[in-house]
């Protein structure tokens, strides 16, 4: 009986110590590391907001080259995510973009499945410095009662901090060695005929569903007229009014001849032979950056341009496995 009594007392003491340890142990962990990258914020933001590119710089990707990834959502949009499943060093889980401030800040969540279930969140913060960008990577996790006891013996910052430092250094290398995001080219333009549907819409109405619907209608009309596209689909913009928040644009297909019945559509002729172009790689919802870059260029050069411009969609995202770093949109302006 004495043995049982003392065993019970010992277990009670251990239990009490564990409870006290759990109460005194840290309830959360915060890791924060920074690096200065000699590249503009837009370039770095484009890399961070596209999880397809994370394997280029992630400190954990090297731990399992055979790790598998499944992506969902569009880069640079809330909800863009990837699932990973790898060896014991990387485990499995999911990472999701939860909030975005273009060229400024990206927030994410992490759901770990293996080797044990847990959740975390963090941010990447981008700040201008003299001729460079300061990037700060934060990571925050909270612990349950049992995990807190383990945290008494583990310093998460010391254990994982070097991984974040190595990741930022790899990001720095990728960003600084990347090609310039945008270069304005002077090109020869072949006069073209387009069949399109010109519309005046609110900014809120201009989305992928609108383009998909209009292109399907154009495809049906081309079929009825036995017409063939002579190039990639385009969007011809005639104006963006920031005051009224309205756009004047025409999704269109190029065609060799306007012969046929095109009821409900517009025949658009562009007879210019000289143009300025930017080859933009990235998600469609970021092409505005190319327009801003072009408008700054023509303003600095004192160039007067036509009222219309073209976005030419040269890469089908499906053919690039939805890796938008490989999706090319050509932005074309026409000097007068």
> Comparing 159 with 215, which gets the higher pLDDT?
215
Does residue 125 form part of some domain? yes
Q: Which structural domain, as residue segments, surrounds residue 99? A: 12-176
CB 67 within 8 A of CB 86: yes
- Whether residue 151 is predicted with pLDDT greater than 70 in this model: the reply is no
- Whether residue 76 is predicted with pLDDT greater than 90 in this model: the reply is no
Q: What is the DSSP letter of 318?
A: G
pLDDT tens-place string over residues 174-219: 999 887 667 899 999 999 999 999 999 898 888 889 999 999 999 9
The DSSP bridge pattern shows strands 184-188 and 28-37 to be: unpaired
Assign residue 26 the CATH number of its domain.
3.30.530.20
- Whether residue 268 is predicted with pLDDT greater than 90 in this model: the reply is yes
Could you tell me which residues are beta bridge partners of residue 299?
none
Does residue 268 form part of some domain? yes
Assign residue 189 the CATH number of its domain.
3.20.80.10
Encode burial over 247-276: b for 16+ CB neighbours within 10 A, e otherwise: bbbbbbbbbeeeeeebeebeebebebeebb
DSSP, collapsed to helix, strand or coil, labels residue 122 as strand
State how far the alpha carbon of 145 is from the alpha carbons of 22, 24, 142, 152, 159, in Å.
6, 10, 10, 12, 20
CB 270 within 8 A of CB 307: no
24 and 101 inside one domain: yes
Place of tokens 């689909």: 233
61 and 188 inside one domain: no
CB 31 within 8 A of CB 139: yes
Please give the Cα distance from 36 to 135 (Å, whole number): 6
Highest mean pLDDT of the ranges 28-32, 140-144, 302-306: 302-306
Place of tokens 């907001």: 49
227 and 247 inside one domain: yes
State the pLDDT confidence band at 224, using cuts at 50, 70 and 90. very high
pLDDT tens-place string over residues 242-260: 888 899 999 999 999 988 8
84 and 156 inside one domain: yes
Q: Round the average pLDDT of the chain to a whole number and report it.
A: 85
205 and 235 inside one domain: yes
- Whether residue 51 is predicted with pLDDT greater than 60 in this model: the reply is yes
Final residue in a domain of this structure, among 146, 176, 206: 176
160 and 244 inside one domain: no
Does residue 307 form part of some domain? yes
pLDDT tens-place string over residues 111-120: 988 877 778 8
Does residue 241 form part of some domain? yes
Q: Which helix (H) or strand (E) holds 178?
A: none
- Whether residue 18 is predicted with pLDDT greater than 70 in this model: the reply is no
127 and 218 inside one domain: no
Does residue 113 form part of some domain? yes
61 and 132 inside one domain: yes
**Residue 116, phi then psi, degrees to nearest 5:** -150, 155
CB 106 within 8 A of CB 97: yes
Does residue 135 form part of some domain? yes
- Whether residue 141 is predicted with pLDDT greater than 70 in this model: the reply is yes
Q: How much helix, strand and coil, in percent to the nearest 5, is found in the chain? A: 35, 40, 30
Does residue 7 form part of some domain? no
Please name the residues in contact with 10: beta carbons below 8 A apart, sequence gap of 6 or more: none
124 and 266 inside one domain: no
Does residue 3 form part of some domain? no
**pTM greater than 0.75 (yes/no):** no
125 and 204 inside one domain: no
**Residue 290, phi then psi, degrees to nearest 5:** -70, -40
Please give the Cα distance from 317 to 319 (Å, whole number): 5
Over its C-alpha atoms, the chain yields an Rg (Å, rounded) of 27
> Comparing 146 with 88, which gets the higher pLDDT?
88
Res 137: pLDDT: 94
- Whether residue 277 is predicted with pLDDT greater than 80 in this model: the reply is yes
26 and 141 inside one domain: yes
Res 14: pLDDT: 45
Final residue in a domain of this structure, among 128, 143, 176: 176
Final residue in a domain of this structure, among 150, 176, 202: 176
State the pLDDT confidence band at 27, using cuts at 50, 70 and 90. low
140 and 94 inside one domain: yes
Q: How many domains does one find in the chain? A: 2
């Amino acid at each position: 009986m004495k043995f049982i009594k003392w065993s019970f007392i010992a277990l009670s003491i251990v239990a009490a110590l564990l409870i006290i340890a759990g109460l005194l142990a840290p309830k959360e962990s915060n890791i924060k590391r920074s690096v200065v990258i000699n590249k503009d914020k837009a370039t770095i933001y484009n890399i961070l907001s596209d999880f397809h590119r994370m394997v280029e710089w992630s400190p954990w990707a090297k731990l399992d080259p055979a790790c598998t990834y499944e992506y969902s959502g569009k880069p640079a949009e809330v909800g863009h995510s990837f699932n990973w499943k790898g060896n014991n060093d990387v485990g499995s889980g999911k990472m999701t973009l939860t909030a975005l401030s273009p060229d400024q800040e990206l927030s994410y969540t992490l759901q770990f499945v293996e080797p044990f279930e847990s959740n975390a969140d963090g941010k990447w913060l981008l700040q201008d410095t003299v001729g460079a960008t300061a990037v700060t990577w934060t990571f925050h996790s909270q612990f349950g009662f049992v995990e807190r006891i383990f945290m008494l013996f583990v310093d998460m910052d010391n254990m994982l901090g070097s991984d974040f430092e190595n990741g930022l250094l790899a990001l720095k290398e990728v960003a600084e060695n990347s090609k310039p995001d945008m270069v304005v080219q002077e090109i020869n333009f072949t006069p073209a005929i387009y069949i399109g549907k010109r519309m005046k819409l609110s900014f809120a109405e201009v989305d992928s569903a609108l383009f998909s619907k209009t292109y399907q209608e154009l495809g049906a009309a081309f079929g009825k007229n036995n017409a063939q596209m002579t190039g990639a689909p385009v969007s011809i913009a005639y104006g963006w009014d920031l005051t009224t928040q309205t756009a004047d644009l025409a999704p269109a297909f190029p065609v060799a001849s306007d012969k046929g019945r095109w009821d409900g559509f517009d025949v658009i002729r562009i007879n210019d032979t000289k143009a300025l172009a930017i080859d933009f790689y990235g998600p469609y919802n970021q092409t505005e950056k190319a327009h801003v870059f072009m408008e700054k260029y023509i303003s600095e050069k004192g160039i007067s341009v036509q009222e219309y411009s073209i976005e030419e969609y040269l890469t089908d995202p499906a053919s690039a496995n939805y890796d938008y770093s490989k999706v090319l949109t050509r932005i074309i302006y026409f000097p007068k």
